[in-house]
Amino acid sequence: MAKNIKVNALASVLVRVFNILFPLITGPYLARILSKEAYGEFNVANSILNLFIPFAAFGIYSYGIRSISRVKNNIKEISKNFTVLFSINLISSLGIGILYIGYMFLNVNSNMYMLYIALSIQIFTQFVSIEWMNEAFENYGFILFKTLFVRVLMLVSIFAFVKKADDIVNYAFILSITNLVNYLISFYYIKRKVKFVKIELKDILIHIKPLIGMLLLANSYMLYTALDRAVLSLLDAKISVSYYTFALSIAQLITSVVYSIIVVSIPRLSYYHGNSDEKNYTELLNQVARTFLFLVIPMGIGLSCVSDEVMLIYAGEKYLEAGFILKLFSLRIVMWALDQLLANQVLFVRGYEKNITAFYFIGGFLNLILNIVLLKLKVVQAEYFVYTTLFSEIVVLIIQIYFITKRNIISINEILKSYVKYILCAIPFFAITYGINHTLKYSLNLNLQFFVRVLAIIVSCVLYYFIIMLITKDKILFVTLDGIKNKFRVIKYKLKSKKYKG
């Protein structure tokens, strides 16, 4: 393969780092500038938007990555697939956009129309989003620089136009327009290399069935966190929606960095499997799994240890109650890690989309039933909705493990061993946190003592984890250390060479 997966992973990680850094700047700013009520209205509107967006996207993102990855040495097939998927996405974007506007007129107060119209731009322009082409071509360098530009544009716009407690419409327009700019840059970049070609109706129809499967797969998450927020919105619990949204957003920000390890490996795994190269497929799968779990499990458990502190720093005292919800979402990360490996790296790459969809819908309908119970009981506390989602996702994970082992699809023993190992190694974080909180003065006031205590927890947990990985002779740690040593050797050699030439 022409492009190095390590370079791709690094570029993708940097993209996700930027996607974290900028919300870490804008999130606290918005939480403090916008009123609790106004932000609640925005979060409700955004929750409704997120029910429509996946249908407009029509599952094309994941389907497109896999389809283009399999034929990326054939420019004729690439152009044909691109034209077909773009055409389908155009139809779905316009159709769902019209339905969204209809929903707005039927269910939304007229004083909120501008907010919903501003957000609707994201639906109507969904067809221009062709980042799946860049992912398939592994153009992570381009994605990196484009993301940096768009994020800076968004940051400057927020500081310039969101200055009052009720500036939620301005904020919505900024989000939608910068998203469109992001889409258009990618579209221009890809269109220089790939052309639209003439297609027939039958070319579109043969993709509809697998896309419906992918649509269901892409939308299955709506029966989890999106459903939770929708039910809370029906209960008119705007503040609870904000608590839930803040906690979920922080957890997703943390996981988005390491998730790039999975994303960048999907095209390569698809290539190996498509060419019946099971040896390289298995080796890469186990390597990706170990690396992913090595990072994400301690991050999830570590975040749960300082969830109140993180929420206080991020959103301020008025959202401190969301700290416990963040703790729950942090622990959910640990379970999510294994789910993502099994669903994306094993089942999806090997063509089991229908089964994944069925599994997610089983869990989703279970969550729906539990949410209906909470709705009938008029429970408005966000943490109960997280409990139902956690329970439903555990059921899905058990089903996935049973299916893979029963069908003997591939051995996942190495993945499960790594999963258990990293959990056991990270659990002592709780004891370390407890000890420090009882040694240093515990308070939730943003002062020097507070930051010293939080820093002591983080440093102690990282140091402990490093030592335990050394003791257990962890492969990922030693590969990383060897890589660092080799880099230093290269730098040292280059410096000596320059000195000698001079």
**pLDDT tens digit string along 118-151?**
999 999 999 999 888 988 887 888 888 898 899 9
Residue 120 lies in a domain: yes
Lowest mean pLDDT among 50-54, 251-255, 258-262, 345-349: 258-262
The mean pLDDT value for 464-472 works out to 95
Is the same domain home to 202 and 271? no
Where a domain ends, among 368, 401, 421? 421
What is the C-alpha separation between 386 and 336, in angstroms, rounded? 13
Asked if residue 271 and residue 201 are part of one domain, the reply reads: no
Q: What is the DSSP letter of 502?
A: -
In this predicted structure, the answer to whether residue 470 has a pLDDT above a threshold of 90 is yes
Paired tokens of 78: 């690439």
Q: Choose the final residue of a domain: 391, 421, 451.
A: 421
Quick one: pLDDT band at residue 443, thresholds 50, 70, 90?
Answer: confident
User: Within this chain, do residues 187 and 301 fall inside the same structural domain, yes or no?
Assistant: no
**Between helices 201-219 and 60-70, what is the axis angle to 10°?**
120
Structure tokens at 261: 């390890």
CA geometry: angle at 337 spanning 332 and 50, to 5°? 65
Closest by alpha carbon to 334, among 286, 293, 287, 388? Answer: 293
Q: Please tell me whether residues 294 and 167 are part of one structural domain.
A: no
pLDDT in tens, 363-379: 999 999 999 999 899 88
Whether residue 393 contacts residue 220, with contact meaning beta carbons closer than 8 Å, is answered with no
Q: Give Cα separations from 480 to 257, 280, 311 (angstroms).
A: 17, 21, 32
Q: Is residue 341 one of the residues assigned to a domain?
A: yes
Query: Is pLDDT at 261 greater than 80 in this prediction?
Result: no
121-130, 264-273, 467-476: which has the minimum mean pLDDT? 264-273
Q: Are residues 219 and 269 in the same domain?
A: no
DSSP 221: G
Amino acid, single-letter form, for residue 331: L
Asked whether the predicted pLDDT for residue 16 surpasses 80, the reply is no
Residue 414 and residue 364 share a domain: yes
CA angle centred on 410, ends 338 and 137, rounded to 5°? 70
Question: What's the Rg (C-alpha) of the chain?
Answer: 23
pTM of the model: 0.79
Q: Could you tell me if 346 and 416 lie in one domain?
A: yes
Domain residues for 333?
Answer: 259-421
Instruction: Name every residue whose Cβ is closer than 8 Å to that of residue 314 and which is 6 or more positions away in sequence.
Output: 24, 27, 28, 31, 246, 250
Q: Which of 176, 157, 166, 150 is nearest to 53 (CA)?
A: 176
Total residue length of the chain: 502
Residue 492 in domain:
no
Report if residue 455 sits inside a domain. Answer: no
Contacts 24+ apart (CB under 8 A), 186-194: 186/129, 186/130, 186/131, 186/133, 186/134, 186/143, 186/146, 187/128, 187/130, 189/134, 189/139, 189/142, 189/146, 190/82, 190/130, 190/133, 190/134, 194/75, 194/78, 194/79, 194/82, 194/133
Residue 498 lies in a domain: no
Judge if 292 and 158 occupy the same domain.
no
Q: Read off the pLDDT band of 259 (50, 70, 90).
A: confident
Is position 315 within any domain? yes
Asked whether residue 210 falls in the same domain as residue 322, the answer is: no
299 and 205 in one domain?
no
My answer on whether 265 and 153 are in the same domain is no
Number of structural domains in the chain:
2
Task: Tell me if 52 is assigned to some domain.
Answer: yes
Asked if residue 236 is part of any domain, the answer here is: no
Same domain, 156 and 264: no
- List the single range of 101-110, 235-244, 394-403, 476-485 with lowest mean pLDDT: 476-485
The CA distance from 496 to 502, in Å, is: 10
From 382, 398, 421, the end of a domain falls on 421
Query: Is 60 exceeded by the pLDDT of residue 1?
Result: no
Is the pLDDT at 94 greater than 90? The verdict is: yes
